Amino acid sequence: MGRRKKIDIKKKRKKLIKEKKKELQKQSIQVEKRPTKTFDLRLEKETKLYWIRALTGALSAFVGRLIFGLFGWFLFVWMLAWWFIFPFIVSFNILKHEYDKEEWNYKNIIMPGIGIFFFLFMIVGVFLHTLLSFVPIFSSVFELFL
């Protein structure tokens, strides 16, 4: 039996840590800022649509109630028009997303942001309606010009 060599664990551990740091630096340089997988691209599109829907929900309630003086069923129809029509306009004309014909589904455009659209529409609509109900001078900006 031969004599065993002494192994300095601290030196080996430091050496391994240095090698791992070099590998991580190389990997971070190689990582691109743009997603390359189709799933990542779809998520990026849906995220943009989500935040546009959030903004659209608040603005459509603001315009519908304050400018046009809509309330009740007219405001509901106004909300549905913005809910179902505007995402297609944004997706195809403003953002100019390209969808594969085999994988395209209208649900990919309508579904992202339904909850936040409805929530912000209701919050802004109810707030404006309540505010305008307590101001007896006018119920909308549209009535000022009549």
Radius of gyration of the chain (CA): 28
Most trustworthy range by pLDDT among 23-27, 30-34, 112-116: 112-116
Residue 59 included in any domain: yes
What sign does the dihedral 127-133-137-138 (CA atoms) show? positive
- Residue 30 confidence class, pLDDT cut points 50, 70, 90: low
Residue 79 included in any domain: yes
Amino acid, single-letter form, for residue 94: I
- Residue 31 confidence class, pLDDT cut points 50, 70, 90: low
Q: Chain-wide mean pLDDT for the chain?
A: 77
Residue 106 included in any domain: yes
Residue 58 included in any domain: yes
Domain encompassing residue 62:
37-144
Dihedral angle computed from the Cα positions of residues 42, 96, 50 and 43, in that order, rounded to the nearest 10 degrees:
10
> Based on the structure, what is the number of domains in the chain?
1
Residue 95 included in any domain: yes
Residue 16 included in any domain: no
- Which residue do the tokens 């929530």 mark? 119
Residue 90 included in any domain: yes
Between 19 and 28, the higher pLDDT residue: 19
Residue 132 included in any domain: yes
